[in-house]
Structure 1
Amino acid sequence: MATQAPTPPIAPANVPDSLVRSVERYLYEEAELLDTWRLHEWLELFAPHGQYQVPSTDKPDGDPARDLFLIQDDRFLLEQRVNSLLTRAAHAEYPHSRTRHLITNVRVTDATDGRLTVTANFAVYRVRSGTVDTYVGQYRHILLQDEDGSFRYELRKSVLDLDALHPHGKVSVIL
């Protein structure tokens, strides 16, 4: 059964600033891994049952059990995606695009029993062959916090604010 991130509440939960800062640092370090194409290291940020989802632009709050998603990867499929992106077989990303992940407005809206609901706004710029594609939206993540304070993704969900994927027509990088 697919894990689905709840629609975020309007007001954040009363969580310590130190926890929010730790989550911000985690997201910034993840962005660095993606922008430098260290995808095997990035994959280690996921729990064994972790999922990566990108809903379609026409159903941003869709249910992955019923609705079409642009990306709906469990850990196995995510490993396949990473391996593919790092080979010449991924024609849309060979040679690799330059990307820049910008993250802002990070909020921890719930922190219960080591399970954190996190939202953040993002802009991902992809530069390839003289063209700049821009993806903007909101992250809706569920993080698991280990006893040592480290985090792992149970759900990494990128909800696009775009009406459609025009002009680029695809998502060939990890948002």
Structure 2
Amino acid sequence: MVEVQAAPSATASESMVLSHEVEQFLYREADLLDSWRLPEWLDLFAPTGHYLIPATDKPDGDPSRDLFLVQDDRFLLEQRINSLMKRSAHAEYPHSRTRRMISNVRVTGGSDELIGIAANFTVFRMRSGTVDTYVGHYEHVVERDEQHGFRFMVRRSVLDLDALRPHGKVSIIL
């Protein structure tokens, strides 16, 4: 679990505004991913941001010592995006159609600089007549950014699946 220190107590209206901003950020992000606007989506990451997907058998894993399905820093994430956007990415060309459902969005802590976000997700991936369903929850840390509202410092997608059967892989951004 990614932890951010609790913020000093905010007023109810400040909390509601922040919650709304966070929800809108996640909904915009989902739209970018579902529309395959991956270069724009990459702009939502801070230069030191990380994209993480722990292994299904160790959802609370630590990336410094455990095996992860995806453990990308900003450089590796940019390489992943460049690859997914090319015709030579056979696993995703033509691109899968995806539809994301984001729910139970919560601000889990934060300060003026960093904000913790938790949310549930379901991602439906349609390709070659098959529908794969990925279910899990997010544990994000974002920083405020004037251009985007927020930028990911840590974007962690934790799958609630026992295994990656029947799809066997994660070739899309969760």
TM-score by length of 2: 0.92
Deviation, 1:113, is 2.6
SS of equivalent to 2:164: coil
Question: Shift of residue 172 of structure 1?
Answer: 0.4
Cα contact 2:44–2:148 (8 A) shared by 1? no
What's 1:168 paired with?
167
Q: Distance in 2 between matches of 1:121 and 1:5?
A: 15
* Distance in 1, Cα, partners of 2:74 & 2:148: 22
Deviation at 1:90, TM superposition (A): 1.1
Alignment of 1:1-175 (within 5 A): 5-6=2-3, 16-146=15-145, 150-175=149-174
Contact map agreement 1:114 1:146 (CA 8 A) in 2: no
Shift of 1:150: 1.3
> 1:84-118: CA deviations, max 9, x gaps?
00001211100000000110000001021321000
Q: Distance in 2 between matches of 1:136 and 1:150?
A: 26
CA contact (8 A) 1:50 1:155 kept: yes
Q: Identity percentage over the alignment?
A: 63
Which string of whole-angstrom CA distances, capped at 9 and with x for unpartnered residues, describes residues 51-98 of structure 1?
A: 000000000000101000000000000000000000012111000000
1:107 touches 1:119 (CA, 8 Å); kept in 2? yes
> Structure 1 residues 148, 74: closer, same or farther in 2, change over 3 A?
closer
The CA RMSD over aligned residues, in Å, is 1.9
1:147: Cα distance to partner? 5.6
8 A Cα contact 1:119 1:140, kept in partner: yes
Misfit runs of 4+, over 6 Å: none
Scaled by the length of structure 1, the TM-score of the pair is 0.91
Q: List alignment gaps of at least 5 residues for structure 1.
A: none
Determine if contact 2:144/2:150 at 8 Å carries over to the other structure: yes
Deviates more, 1:64-73 or 1:145-154: 145-154
For residue 16 of structure 1, give the secondary structure of its aligned residue in structure 2. Answer: helix
* Closer, same or farther: CA 20–54 of 1 in aligned 2, 3 Å: same
Q: Which runs of 5+ in 2 are unaligned?
A: none
State the alpha-carbon separation in 1 of the partners of residues 148 and 86 from structure 2.
34
State how far apart, in whole Å, the 2-side matches of 1:49 and 1:149 are. 16
